[in-house]
């Protein structure tokens, strides 16, 4: 394997003044946003009458240019570009109803170039609400599939490319020499999109949306938490999945996991051994919830020691060498400062082994994004080598860099968001092989503590952990559920969800359902009924 991540040559021209320029621009943007009224707190008055879609081409708003406004017939939309985010199939577009499609470019700074799209169904089928959707990776594209899904649910929908255009797999080179673009990506683009979308909705329907929601996972999860922290009045409810909100710790853990997996060739674990490890984990921990079903309901109760798999003789496909045993232990434990013994970030959970190729495989799929964060943004070094990663040094460097100061979304004081009735529904897959599920647990617990305990938080924030789910979706566990519906009911009724039924879909059919329980509760089998039926499980605190 190539031992060096080679970043694009253009990064080499970056000087140390980049970080200072970005921080100065960020300080200015934060100050401006803190004093400006939000779209929710100061909505534009609705137009006297409904507008036609085409008439929105003359819509006027500061630093906004409408580039297209046209009606799209039911099922007639074709995405203009490759759209990997949420687009496993073209079915969302085939089932999409008629809608008004508005595209705009926003320029809140001299170097901003934020593309947004707002999709609005006919008034007769509109539910009266706005749903914004998030992005993945470094963004750079419009998430058309999620726009179509929101539209099919009856919402007016909005999304942004976050201020730059890039292809899947490309890194943050867009930010090199362009501090305003990194601000747009980090937090400004979503806020500007939200404000403009509300104005367009008001102009088209002659009324403001009654509710505004946001839904996103991974990078989209970071975007959602950024919104409630920086712009608490933008949304009434947020559905937030597997968030990369603590970028420093998440991507530091990712780089460190790749390093320990590849730094010593004798310790490398071939992917075919992931199954061996996974089966051993299930053998020990599957039945902890009262039923053997291939899922670990609460991996924090699983204290698996890979020593049981150590080879008794030479290396073999069904066992682990002593060096491999050490790596498995380290993957579960996460990076540690060897000088102090302090945990720098949580590791992956027992049960996640089948997805370890993302960070530890022959070509780690999740590594380039994390390595680009350190090479391009932290060290501004095109030849930065992930194999030289040192937790004590590099976590601190990232925390003090533009990454920690701008991209991190770790503020636990959500009282301004909760004060106007805002609801935050978080979820995370226990088998996530990219972002430790404990990151969501730790953030949730920090919010509860900051706002004054469970009695003051339970009506405003809930966390649901999904057994067997990978990163945002997929895996052996139920991963399909109506999250935005749960958020909507919570906002409208004021009653938080105490149980959400999720399904596992196989060949288009649900072959298993299971209740998702609000953390720290877990589902346990009641002793009778099908173990593939949610009705056979109850939620309780361990």
The answer on pLDDT for 25 being more than 80 is: no
Residue 166's pLDDT is 87
Residue range 209-224: average pLDDT?
A: 98
- DSSP assignment, residue 109? S
From 428, 471, 504, 524, active-site residue: 471
Cis peptide before 234 (omega within 30 of 0): no
The answer on pLDDT for 28 being more than 90 is: no
Top mean pLDDT of 46-55, 167-176, 197-206 is at 197-206
Look at strands 423-429 and 461-466 and give their pairing.
parallel
- DSSP assignment, residue 527? S
Sheet holding 237-241, edge to edge: 64-72, 99-106, 114-120, 156-160, 129-133, 211-217, 237-241, 423-429, 461-466
Residue 365's pLDDT is 76
Residue 170's pLDDT is 82
DSSP per-residue codes, 315-370: --TTSB-HHHHHHHHHHHH--B-TTT--B-S--PPTT-GGGTHHHHSSS-TTHHHH
- The residue among 8, 2, 20, 24 whose CA lies nearest residue 375 is 8
Residue 542's pLDDT is 86
What are the pLDDT digits (tens) for 418-438? 999 999 999 999 999 999 999
CA distance 236 to 115: 24
What are the pLDDT digits (tens) for 445-494? 999 999 999 999 999 999 999 999 999 999 999 999 999 999 999 999 99
Q: Which residues contact 251 (CB under 8 A, 6 or more apart)?
A: 244, 369, 370, 373, 374, 398
The answer on pLDDT for 16 being more than 60 is: no
Residue 83's pLDDT is 52
- The residue among 51, 103, 57, 46 whose CA lies nearest residue 80 is 103
Please check whether residue 225 is in contact with residue 440, taking contact to mean a CB–CB distance below 8 angstroms.
no
Chain centroid to Cα 152, Å, comes to 22
CA-CA-CA-CA torsion sign (268, 270, 271, 272): negative
Least confident of 120-124, 166-170, 268-272, 360-364: 166-170
Question: Which tokens is 310 given?
Answer: 């150590």
Higher pLDDT among residues 23 and 147, named by residue: 147
The answer on pLDDT for 116 being more than 50 is: yes
Angle at 31 (CA atoms; ends 173, 20), nearest 5 degrees: 40
For residue 103, the surrounding DSSP H or E stretch is strand 99-106
The CA distances from residue 59 to 36, 41, 105, 130, in Å, are 21, 21, 12, 18
- List phi, psi (to 5°) of 320: -115, 140
Higher pLDDT among residues 158 and 85, named by residue: 158
111 is catalytic: no
The answer on pLDDT for 92 being more than 90 is: no
Residue 81's pLDDT is 66
218 is catalytic: yes
From 109, 218, 352, 457, active-site residue: 218
- The residue among 70, 63, 167 whose CA lies nearest residue 113 is 63
Residue 406's pLDDT is 95
178 is catalytic: no
From 246, 432, 476, 479, active-site residue: 432
Higher pLDDT among residues 51 and 249, named by residue: 249
Residue 49's pLDDT is 64
pLDDT band at 169 (very low <50, low <70, confident <90, very high): confident
pTM above 0.85, yes or no: yes
The angle, 0 to 180 degrees and rounded to 10, between the axes of the packed helices 247-262 and 322-333 is: 180
The CA distances from residue 93 to 27, 78, 223, 346, in Å, are 40, 7, 25, 39
Residue with tokens 């687009």: 87
Cα atoms found within 13 Å of the Cα of residue 192, Cβ hemisphere only = 30
pLDDT band at 43 (very low <50, low <70, confident <90, very high): low
The answer on pLDDT for 236 being more than 80 is: yes
The answer on pLDDT for 501 being more than 80 is: yes
The answer on pLDDT for 38 being more than 90 is: no
- DSSP assignment, residue 534? G
Mean pLDDT over the full length of the chain:
90
Question: Which tokens is 140 given?
Answer: 């750079």
Least confident of 22-36, 138-152, 263-277, 423-437: 22-36
CA-CA-CA-CA torsion sign (298, 301, 305, 309): negative
Please check whether residue 126 is in contact with residue 201, taking contact to mean a CB–CB distance below 8 angstroms.
no
């Amino acid at each position: 394997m190539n031992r060096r991540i080679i970043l694009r040559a253009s990064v080499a021209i970056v000087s140390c003044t980049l970080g200072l320029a970005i921080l100065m621009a960020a300080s200015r943007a934060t100050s401006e946003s803190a004093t400006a009224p939000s779209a929710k707190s100061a909505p534009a008055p609705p137009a006297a009458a409904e507008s036609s879609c085409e008439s929105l081409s003359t819509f006027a708003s500061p630093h906004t240019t409408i580039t297209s406004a046209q009606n799209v017939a039911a099922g007639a939309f074709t995405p203009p570009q490759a759209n990997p985010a949420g687009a496993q199939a073209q079915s969302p577009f085939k089932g999409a109803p008629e809608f008004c499609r508005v595209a705009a470019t926003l320029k809140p700074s001299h170097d901003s170039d934020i593309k947004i799209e707002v999709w609005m169904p006919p008034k007769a089928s509109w539910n009266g609400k706005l749903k914004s959707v998030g992005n993945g990776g470094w963004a750079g594209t419009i998430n058309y599939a999620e726009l179509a899904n929101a539209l099919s649910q009856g919402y007016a929908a909005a999304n942004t490319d976050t201020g730059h255009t890039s292809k899947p797999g490309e890194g943050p080179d867009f930010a090199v020499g362009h501090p305003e673009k990194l601000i747009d990506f980090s937090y400004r683009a979503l806020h500007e999109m939200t404000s403009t979308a509300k104005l367009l909705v008001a102009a088209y329907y002659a009324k403001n949306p009654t509710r505004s929601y946001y839904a996103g996972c991974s990078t989209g999860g970071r975007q959602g938490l950024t919104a409630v922290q920086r712009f608490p009045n933008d949304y009434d409810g947020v559905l937030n999945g597997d968030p990369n909100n603590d970028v420093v710790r998440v991507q530091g853990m990712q780089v460190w996991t790749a390093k320990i997996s590849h730094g010593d060739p004798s310790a490398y674990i071939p992917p075919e051994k992931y199954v061996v490890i996974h089966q051993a984990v299930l053998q020990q921990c599957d039945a902890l919830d009262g039923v053997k079903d291939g899922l670990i309901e609460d991996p924090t109760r699983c204290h698996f020691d890979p020593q049981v798999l150590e080879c008794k003789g030479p290396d073999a496909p069904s066992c682990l060498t002593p060096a491999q045993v050490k790596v498995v232990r380290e993957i579960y434990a996460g990076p540690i400062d060897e000088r102090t013994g302090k945990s720098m970030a949580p590791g992956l959970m027992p049960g996640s082994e089948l997805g370890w190729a993302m960070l530890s495989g022959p070509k780690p799929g999740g590594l380039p994004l994390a390595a680009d964060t350190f090479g391009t943004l932290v060290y501004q070094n095109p030849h930065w080598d992930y194999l030289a990663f040192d937790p004590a040094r590099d976590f601190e460097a990232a925390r003090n860099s533009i990454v920690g100061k701008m991209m991190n979304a770790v503020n636990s004081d959500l009282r301004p968001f909760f004060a106007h009735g805002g609801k935050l529904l978080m979820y995370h897959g226990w088998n996530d092989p990219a972002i430790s599920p404990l990151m969501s647990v730790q953030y949730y617990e920090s919010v509860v503590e900051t706002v004054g305990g469970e009695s003051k938080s339970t009506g405003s924030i809930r966390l649901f952990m999904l057994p067997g789910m990978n990163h945002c979706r997929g895996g052996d566990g139920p991963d399909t559920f109506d999250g935005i519906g749960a958020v909507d009911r919570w906002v409208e009724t004021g009653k938080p969800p105490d149980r959400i039924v999720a399904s596992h879909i196989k060949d288009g059919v649900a072959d298993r359902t299971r209740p998702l329980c609000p953390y720290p509760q877990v589902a346990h089998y009641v002793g009778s009924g099908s173990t593939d039926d949610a009705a056979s499980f109850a939620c309780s605190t361990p």
